[in-house]
Amino acid sequence: MLFTRWKWSLVGLLLSSVLMLLLMLSTAGPAFATGCAEDGSTCTYTLTGGALAPTYGSVTLAPGALNGQDQTLTITMPVAIIDQDGNGWNIQAGLTPFISGGNTLPTVLNVSMTGACASGSSCSLPDGTAPSGTSAVSLTPGASTLTAAGSTPTLSVLISTAANGSAYYGMGSMTITTTLTASLLARNTYAGTYSGKIELSVISGP
Amino acid sequence: MAFNRWTLSYIVYFVLVIGGLLLLILNPAIPTFAASSSLYSGSTSHRLNHADSLSTTYGTATISPTSLNGLNQTLSITIPLQVVITSGTDWHMQIGLTPLASANYTLPTSLNVGLTGYCNAYNDHPYCGWHSYNNSCYLFGTHFTYYANRSINSIVALGSTPTPVTVYDDSTGCTTGNITFTTSLTASLLARNTYSGTYTNKIQASVIAGP
Q: What is the pLDDT of residue B211?
A: 74
pLDDT at B43: 27
- Structural domain contains residue A27: no
Q: List, as own/partner pairs, every contact residues A22-25 make where C-beta atoms lie below 8 angstroms and the sequence separation is at least 24, other chains included.
A: A23/B20, A23/B23, A23/B24, A23/B27, A24/B23
Q: For residue A123, give the nearest of B2, B58, B192 by CB distance.
A: B192
Does A23 fall in a domain?
no
Looking at residue B86, its pLDDT comes to 81
Contact A172, B70 (CB under 8 A): yes
A75: domain CATH number?
2.60.40
A16–B13: do the CB atoms touch at under 8 Å? yes
Residue A72 lies in a domain: yes
Closest-CA distance, B131 to chain A, in angstroms, reads: 23
B54 occurs within a structural domain: yes
Among chain B residues, CA nearest to A125: B192
Spell out, as residue ranges, where chain A has pLDDT lower than 70. 1-34
Which of these, A92, A144, A166, A135, lies nearest to B195 by C-alpha position?
Answer: A166
Share of chain B above pLDDT 70, in %: 73
Q: Please check whether residue B90 is in contact with residue B169, taking contact to mean a CB–CB distance below 8 angstroms.
A: no
Tell me the pLDDT tens digit for each residue of B6-60: 565 555 555 555 554 444 444 333 333 322 222 222 222 333 343 458 899 999 9
* Domain membership flag for residue A60: yes
* Buried/exposed A191-201: b ≥16 CB within 10 Å, e otherwise: eeebebebbbb
Inter-chain touch A39–B201, beta carbons under 8 Å? no
Distance, in angstroms, between A61 CA and closest chain B CA?
Answer: 29
Average pLDDT over residues B183-194: 98
Domain span at residue A119 reads: 53-204
Q: Which residues in chain A touch residue B29, judged by CB atoms under 8 angstroms apart?
A: 26-29
**B87 pLDDT band (50/70/90 cuts)?**
confident
Judge: A84–B30 Cβ closer than 8 Å, yes or no. Answer: no
**Is the residue at A172 inside a domain?**
yes
The pLDDT > 90 percentage for chain B reads 59
CATH number for the domain including B157? 2.60.40
- For helices A2-25 and B2-26, the axis angle rounded to 10 degrees is 20
Instruction: Please provide the size of chain B in residues.
Output: 211
Establish how many alpha carbons lie within 13 A of residue A41's alpha carbon, considering only the half-sphere containing its beta carbon.
Answer: 8
Contact B31 A172 (CB under 8 A): no
Look at B151 and B18; give whichever has higher pLDDT.
B151
Task: Determine the 3-state secondary structure of A60 from DSSP.
Answer: strand
> Is the backbone of residue A8 left (phi > 0), alpha (psi -120 to 50) or beta?
alpha
User: What domain range is B49 assigned to?
Assistant: 37-209
**Residue B85: its pLDDT value, please?**
87
Mean pLDDT of chain B: 80
How many independent structural domains does chain A possess? Answer: 1
B69 in a structural domain? yes
Instruction: Assess contact for A157 and A90: CB atoms under 8 A.
Output: yes
d(CA A100, CA A103): 5
> Could you tell me if residue B55 is inside a domain?
yes
Instruction: Name the residue facing A24 among B23, B61, B162 (closest C-beta).
Output: B23
| Number of independent structural domains in chain B | 1
Question: By the CB < 8 Å criterion, does B154 face chain A?
Answer: no
Query: Is A110 a domain residue?
Result: yes
Residue of A nearest to B4 (CA): A6
Q: Is residue A7, in this structure, part of any structural domain at all?
A: no
- Helix, strand, or coil (residue B17): helix
Residue A86 within a domain: yes
Does B63 contact A at CB distance below 8 Å? yes
**Cβ within 8 Å of A, B 11-30:** 12-13, 16-17, 19-20, 23-24, 27, 29-30
Question: What stretches of A93-179 show up as alpha helix (H) in DSSP?
Answer: none
Q: What are phi and psi of B14, to 5 degrees?
A: -60, -45
Residue B13 is nearest to which of A12, A29, A124, comparing CB atoms?
Answer: A12
Q: From B97, which residue of chain A is nearest by alpha-carbon distance? A: A40
The residue-averaged pLDDT of B180-205 equals 97
